[in-house]
Chain A
Amino acid sequence: GAGVSQTPSNKVTEKGKYVELRCDPISGHTALYWYRQSLGQGPEFLIYFQGTGAADDSGLPNDRFFAVRPEGSVSTLKIQRTERGDSAVYLCASSSQGARDEQFFGPGTRLTVL
C-alpha cells in the first residue's frame, strides 16, 4: 500500500513569502505529526494531530507557523513571512491509532528560503 507522501519534494522561495507544505498520511491513520530537520540535526517535533484537531502544537517555533487537518486526513503546514532560518527538511509522519503506535515517515519537503 501507499506510504506517507509529501508535496512538493523541494520548495525554493524568497524571504518574506508564504509557503504551504502538504502531507498525505497512510489511509486510515488517525495520528499525524510534523517534524523539522535542519542540516546535520535530528528531526524536531512541531505539531501533532489526532483526527482533525491539533492535540499538541508546542513545537511550533512561533506564530508564523500554522498547520491544519480539516478532514482528518491530509494536512497542510503553512509558513508565513518565511525567513532564511526556516530552511530545513519538513517531515510528516502518521500512525494508525494514536501516539503509541509506530510512526511512518514521509520522504520530506526540502524548503530553501533565499
Chain B
Amino acid sequence: GNSVTQMEGPVTLSEEAFLTINCTYTATGYPSLFWYVQYPGEGLQLLLKATKADDKGSNKGFEATYRKETTSFHLEKGSVQVSDSAVYFCALRTIQGAQKLVFGQGTRLTINP
C-alpha cells in the first residue's frame, strides 16, 4: 500500500540553523511528492512538490529532492527563521483512482530567536 513516514518531532532549532526533516515513502509506482506546512491558526498550505525522480522542489528557501533509489523526499533549509515555526507534513499523491493525498504524521518545528 501507500504510506509516508516522517521524522518524529518536535524539532527545536535556533535561528539561522540548518534544517533537515526526513521523509520516506512506500508507494505503488512513482507518485508525486509534496511538503505541506501548517502555520499556527492557519490551514494547510502547499510548500513544494516534485512530480518525478530527481526533481527538486523549492520554495521560500526550502528544498526537497525526489530520490527514487532511497524512496525519500527530505526537506531542507540552510538558515531557518522564527517565522518558519509550523507543522510540516510530507505527502504523496496516489497515481490511481482519486489520486488522494497520503500524509505523514507531521513534524512540529519551533525556531527560537
Binding site for B on A (CB under 8 A): 3-4, 33, 35, 40-45, 48, 55-56, 58-59, 91, 93, 98-100, 102-103, 105-108
* Of A3, A40, A58, A102, the contact of B46 (CB 8 Å cutoff): A102
Q: Is B99 an interface residue (CB 8 A)?
A: yes
Are B98 and A56 neighbours in the complex by a CB distance under 8 Å?
Answer: yes
- Chain A residues contacting B106 (CB-CB under 8 Å) are 40-42
For B101, give its contact among A4, A43, A58, A100 (CB under 8 Å).
Answer: A43
Tell me if B21 counts as interface (CB < 8 A to partner A).
Answer: no
Q: Which are the 9 A-B pairs with shortest beta-carbon distances? A: A42-B103, A99-B99, A56-B98, A48-B98, A105-B44, A45-B100, A107-B43, A105-B43, A42-B105
- From DSSP, what is the main secondary structure of chain B's interface residues? strand
Interface size class of B (residues with CB under 8 A): 20 to 34
Interface residues of chain B, those whose CB is within 8 Å of chain A, are: 4, 36, 42-46, 49, 89, 91, 93, 97-106
Contacts of A44 in B (CB 8 A): 103
Closest chain B residue to A44, Cβ basis: B103
B105 touches A40 (CB 8 A): yes
Chain A residue nearest to B90 (CB atoms) is: A42
Closest chain A CB from B8 CB (angstroms): 10
Complex formed: what's the CA distance from A102 to B4 in Å? 19
Chain B residue nearest to A38 (CB atoms) is B105
If A33-B100, A99-B99, A103-B101 touch, whether A42 touches B91 (CB-CB below 8 Å) is: yes
Task: Select one of B45, B100, B105 contacting A56, CB under 8 A.
Answer: B100
Contacts of A99 in B (CB 8 A): 93, 97-100
Minimal Cβ-Cβ distance residue in B for A108: B43
Whether A105 lies near B45 (C-beta < 8 A) is yes
Q: Which residues of A contact B103 (CB under 8 A)?
A: 42-44
Name the CB-closest residue of A to B106: A42
> When chains A and B are docked, how far (Å) is the Cα of A39 from the Cα of B5?
17
Given contacts A41-B105, A42-B106, whether A59 and B46 have CB atoms under 8 Å apart is no
A42 touches B100 (CB 8 A): no
A-B pairs with beta carbons under 8 Å apart, 29 shown: A4-B43, A33-B100, A33-B101, A35-B101, A42-B104, A42-B105, A42-B106, A43-B44, A43-B101, A43-B103, A44-B103, A45-B98, A45-B100, A45-B101, A48-B100, A55-B97, A55-B98, A56-B100, A59-B100, A91-B44, A93-B44, A98-B99, A99-B93, A99-B98, A105-B36, A105-B44, A107-B42, A107-B43, A108-B43
